[in-house]
Structure 1
Amino acid sequence: MSRTAGSTVRGVPAPAASTAAGGPTAEAATPAPSGGAAPRTPGHRGGRTGAWTELLRLPALFTVPGDALAGAAAAGARPGPRTLLAIGSSLCLYEAGMALNDWADRAEDAVERPHRPIPSGRVRPAAALAAAGALTGAGLALAAGAGRPALAVAAPLAATVWAYDLALKHTPAGPAAMAAARGLDLLLGAAATGGGTRAALPSAALLGTHTLAVTAVSRRETTGGSVLAPLAALATTGALTGLVAHRRTRLPAGRRAAAAPGLPGSGPAGRAARDGVLATALGAAYAAAAARPYFHAALNPSPPLTQRAVSGGIRATVPLQAALAARSGAVTTSLLVAALAPAGRLFARKAGMRKVSIT
């Protein structure tokens, strides 16, 4: 739930690269003058609020609620108050990972990204660490409010976030840890809403696989030079698109289609066809968001194009979440999740954060 590994990576990564709104590369690393703070770059907002906005990468938050909503859909349950608690827990843990990520990388960032909030002196390291601890506690408290099954998932999720940022990020286990965090986040929504996670395991595996691919690309975000990682991510995107569109999981009992035939839209068979069309369309939107930047990074694995590929992979998380919800037969939920993508772009534009890095 922190940014992706190459940025130093839930997420998220999360996640200097294109913005959540798909804007240009965030900023250039300009060394600070001797004895002073780093000069303001195009991606910076002034003041303390701007520094924390940059540290927490607020535009990336719109990639988070879809985890819990897709998990609820996979569990065959309608979103309710406990789903909202799960979303709140996910948001807190995600932001805890963002703050902890920059705290853990403060020495590296002082060399490679001196314009970041901590090395530039705009956010104190102790404040970032305290924020990570407070947000983790809030996330666990919200999960506890959603019930014991939700807390049983949130606890290992929080542990994975801290382990990733503090120990696993630069090891071969880093991408797997990031993938596990996203998968657990989806299961958190299933546990909070439906009380169980078994039916949501296939969706969690697909979302985790996507995150694994993005994180693998991000490990060369600042240096570039990797052709295999974006090629593998491109192949993974194609495979996931096919699975989401054509290999629908067995629906939970509450949504299982009857075997009797029916006219499209007039009965269970029609609803199944409609859900399949929607899942295919959302899968195509996912592929469109992720494939092009991966392809460009494979052709020219320079740091800017690699960063753009990571950012594209992060943005593609939302249509993938929506496709997973549609795949589970939750049409309304899938459309709600899909709406998070334009909402995130609008938020970034209205708040003047189009150039705040999400990686």
Structure 2
Amino acid sequence: MTRVADLVELVRAPAALSVPGDVVAGAAAAGALGPRTPALATASVLLYWAGMAANDWADRELDAVERPERPIPSGRISPGAAVGLAAGLTAAGVGLAAAAGGRRAAAVAVPLAATIWGYDLLAKNTAAGPAVMAACRGLDVLLGAAGGRPLRALPAAVTVAAHTWTVTALSRREVDGADKALPLRTLAGTALVAASTAVPPGRREGRFGAGGRAVGAVAGALPAVLAGWYAARYGAAQARVVSEPTAGRVRAAVGAGITGLPALQGALTARAGAGLLGVAVAAAAPLGRRLARKVSPT
């Protein structure tokens, strides 16, 4: 009999803490934050979990050799149950997005779902794999922007996509380890992502005296603080891979990239003018790290 704990492991449930921030960052950038945002974030989580279940279903034969402890090859979850769960979560995610955000949200959710399944079934083990996964997270950001001005969310979508490319490129070497060139490239990408996010969008006139200028200064510095936090943890994990590119260190860097993403999403949200919400989004990063000790995010 399938246990809840086995399903949690199959879909990497705690890793979904890295997902709602995509929608929030996109909504903040597009001026679309509102009552629909939590529902769209929930739809995004459902699609993420669907992708994780579909991933393990697609990899079940390879995992039987390389990771026999996973739920499907260990016999704790049957392949049929895994693919059925993935299909059900996909339908639920697309349906919730359409119900909450109407046609505009559905127009993003459907290609997002298709890209997730395309990655798992076709692209993952090809040269296009990192780019396809990056497209998934970029579309996830645009899902949040569906109720506003999506073009304004494109920079945030590209930023999250670039980060995702680095994580996915590293994840392909989780079993065998990497050469030093790969983490050097991903580390350079992380530095560019953090630097572009830290730059404030523009100067605002202080209209409320010294107090208002002080608040504005704090708000202006917040994206840089959160982007620095993201870069410090994820960058340090990649630097350790450069010094010793073993499989274990690669997995640790991938985990740091997944659990550290909320700090980047928080920086993007704060950069769009929602500072307190950005801090709330970033707060998922330490929680995700703690939960990752119990359920692997990779």
Alignment of 1:1-359 (within 5 A): 48-78=3-33, 80-145=34-99, 146-192=101-147, 194=148, 196-246=149-199, 248-249=200-201, 258-259=204-205, 263=209, 265-266=211-212, 272-345=216-289, 348=291, 354-359=293-298
Residue type of the alignment partner of 2:90: T
Whether the 8 Å contact between 1:227 and 1:297 is mirrored in structure 2 is yes
Aligned partners of 2:295 and 2:122: how far apart in 1?
26
Aligned partners of 2:47 and 2:179: how far apart in 1?
30
Assess, with a 3 A threshold, how the Cα gap between structure 1 residues 328 and 118 changes in structure 2: closer, same or farther: same
Q: Bigger CA drift: 290-299 or 332-341? A: 332-341
Once the two structures are superposed, what CA deviation does each residue of 1:180-237 show, in whole Å capped at 9, x if it has no partner? 1011101101114x2x311000011011101001111111110003211211111111
Once the two structures are superposed, what CA deviation does each residue of 1:269-299 show, in whole Å capped at 9, x if it has no partner? x554322211111011101120111001011
Aligned partners of 1:258 and 1:324: how far apart in 2?
17
Deviation at 1:89, TM superposition (A): 0.9
Residue type of the alignment partner of 1:319: A
Deviation at 1:48, TM superposition (A): 1.4
1:40 paired residue number: none
Deviation at 1:76, TM superposition (A): 2.2
Assess, with a 3 A threshold, how the Cα gap between structure 1 residues 304 and 191 changes in structure 2: closer, same or farther: same
Residue type of the alignment partner of 2:110: A
Whether the 8 Å contact between 2:226 and 2:263 is mirrored in structure 1 is yes
Once the two structures are superposed, what CA deviation does each residue of 1:124-168 show, in whole Å capped at 9, x if it has no partner? 000000001000000111111122111111111001000000000
Residue type of the alignment partner of 1:344: G
Residue type of the alignment partner of 1:354: R
Deviation at 1:81, TM superposition (A): 2.3
RMSD value over aligned CA atoms? 1.8
Aligned partners of 1:110 and 1:229: how far apart in 2?
27
After TM superposition, what 4+ stretches of structure 1 lie above 6 angstroms from structure 2?
none
Deviation at 1:114, TM superposition (A): 0.7
Structure 1: gaps (5+ residues):
1-45, 251-256
Once the two structures are superposed, what CA deviation does each residue of 1:70-101 show, in whole Å capped at 9, x if it has no partner? 111111233x2211121111011000000000
Deviation at 1:52, TM superposition (A): 1.1
State the SS of the aligned residue for 2:145. helix
State the SS of the aligned residue for 1:357. coil
Aligned partners of 1:276 and 1:231: how far apart in 2?
30
State the SS of the aligned residue for 2:212. coil
Aligned partners of 1:321 and 1:131: how far apart in 2?
28
Aligned partners of 1:280 and 1:263: how far apart in 2?
24
State the SS of the aligned residue for 2:177. coil
Whether the 8 Å contact between 1:66 and 1:322 is mirrored in structure 2 is yes
Residue type of the alignment partner of 1:98: M
Aligned partners of 1:300 and 1:345: how far apart in 2?
22
TM-score by length of 1: 0.79
Structure 2: gaps (5+ residues):
none
Higher share of residues assigned helix = 2
Aligned residues with identical type, % of pairs: 49
Residue type of the alignment partner of 1:230: P
State the SS of the aligned residue for 1:316. helix
Deviation at 1:258, TM superposition (A): 4.9
Paired residues, number: 297
State the SS of the aligned residue for 1:147. helix
Aligned partners of 2:62 and 2:210: how far apart in 1?
57
Residue type of the alignment partner of 1:130: G
Residue type of the alignment partner of 1:227: K
Aligned partners of 1:154 and 1:199: how far apart in 2?
18
